[in-house]
Amino acid sequence: MSILNRTGISDRALALADRVEAFVRETVAPYEKDPRRTSHGPTDELAMELKQKAREAGLLTPHILGGGDHLTQRETAAVLIRSGLSPLGPIACNTAAPDEGNMYLLGKVASADLKTRFLDPLVKGEKRSAFFMTEPAEDGGAGSDPSMMLTTCRPDGNHWVINGRKTYITGAEGAGVGIVMAKSEDGACMFLVDLPDPAIRIERVMDTIDSSMPGGHAVVTIDNLRVPADQMLGDSGEGFRYAQVRLSPARLSHCMRWLGACVRANEIATDYANRRMAFGKQLVDHEGVGFMLAENLIDLKQAELMTYWCADVLDTGAQGTAESSMAKVAVSEALMRVADRCVQVMGGQGVTGDTIVEQVFRELRAFRIYDGPTEVHKWSLAKKIKRDWKKAQEA
């Protein structure tokens, strides 16, 4: 399948995307057998080595240009899809979650001083970041419903004091920058903090189905964390508004990266089906196999079109909440089907670690939950349908 969508994309972005694709295929993909890839994600040693290679190639954080300018969302899609051609590609190119979404947020809302202190090291690939929002279900804390947030913050002189527990905090172990969400009397707040901090204690790094993100996913306790008042993003109570700034682009960049991963998985499965013989002919000539690969092409193209459509909506300046929900559901479900078929086409080989197909399948299962489960997005869209219907009746 061609992922070289060139419609409506500038020459600069196309040239950049082509360079990223070549870099990921030729330089990054050979690291897929590196023993420094662990069940909790690649080690920081491996991540820094890959980032250095991207830096030398002029491809580190390629979607953020000199002076802080950012590619359009359509241009970003062209680049991030290609960075996703290997599970290690986003790490090497510094386009991985949660850093990519955190950089976008800070680029939009942080003050000049906070950008210099917290954003610049992320863009340069010198530090990783973590976003502290989700809370343990056993505590009754915030998950898909952020209004349930239990972590508190209270002013104390020229500082704020934060207490609570967080969970599924991607990359917390080894991160240098944290964005912590807590609730004041005014509502949700966001704070920027240097990590590690003794007041933020990692209880454990969980064993999860995915293994692509450095630092894994941690449960943490925040115990009397003192943060200077000037490290709050905006004013007290503005946290949810800033979360919305990050939300739609972050959902969509997940779609971009995993689309690239599934394109690669489908390439591997297609190659296998054309080389493998069974019952007197190539696997691809058996309709049961050939049809699965044909269905993959259909799902991949639909996912690509949905991704670019949502990118275009965001490029108009719209918040794109409903559109990003639709894209997240459509793309994650389509790519899950693609990854599953790739495993099935390859049979026993598909469930081994000999290729990335098995890992892509695992990652896609988690993607259906990341940034809102499919069912939450459908529920949100259903509420919008009802609101729109009521508004039409009142007109």
Q: How far is CA 325 from CA 275, 331, 370, in A?
A: 39, 10, 12
* Beta strands 129-132 and 37-38, pairing class: unpaired
Which pLDDT score is estimated for 114?
Answer: 97
User: Which amino acid appears at position 61 of this protein?
Assistant: T
Residue-wise pLDDT tens digits, 219-247: 999 999 999 999 999 999 999 999 999 99
pLDDT at 8 over 90: no
Which pLDDT score is estimated for 308?
Answer: 96
The pLDDT-based confidence of 4 (bands split at 50, 70, 90) is low
The pLDDT-based confidence of 3 (bands split at 50, 70, 90) is low
Q: What angle separates helix 73-83 from helix 239-275, to the nearest 10 degrees?
A: 50
The pLDDT-based confidence of 41 (bands split at 50, 70, 90) is very high
Mean pLDDT across the chain, nearest whole number?
A: 96
Q: What is the mean pLDDT of residues 332-337?
A: 98
Q: What is the mean pLDDT of residues 149-176?
A: 98
Which pLDDT score is estimated for 5?
Answer: 65
Q: Measured between alpha carbons, how far is 306 from 385 in angstroms, rounded to an integer?
A: 20
Q: Measured between alpha carbons, how far is 128 from 111 in angstroms, rounded to an integer?
A: 20
Element (DSSP H or E) covering residue 168: strand 159-170
The pLDDT-based confidence of 1 (bands split at 50, 70, 90) is very low
Which pLDDT score is estimated for 395?
Answer: 84
pLDDT > 90 fraction of the chain, expressed in percent and rounded:
94
Q: What are phi and psi of 92, to 5 degrees?
A: -60, -45
Instruction: Please list the residues that pair with 178 across neighbouring strands.
Output: 130, 193
Exposure pattern of 14-35 as b/e (b: 16+ CB <10 Å)? bebbebbbebbeebbbebeeee
Torsion of CA 148, 251, 41, 165, to 10 degrees: -10
Residue-wise pLDDT tens digits, 246-303: 999 999 999 999 999 999 999 999 999 999 999 999 999 999 999 999 999 999 999 9
Which ranges constitute the DSSP H helices of the chain?
Answer: 11-23, 44-56, 73-83, 89-93, 99-109, 112-114, 120-123, 239-275, 287-315, 321-346, 357-367, 374-394
Q: What is the mean pLDDT of residues 52-57?
A: 98
Contact predicate 31/23, CB 8 Å: no
* Domains of the chain, start order: 11-96 (no CATH), 129-236 (2.40.110.10), 240-394 (1.20.140.10)
Q: Measured between alpha carbons, how far is 162 from 155 in angstroms, rounded to an integer?
A: 9
Which pLDDT score is estimated for 7?
Answer: 74
Within 8 A by CB and 6+ apart from 20, the residues are: 59, 62, 79, 82, 83, 89, 93
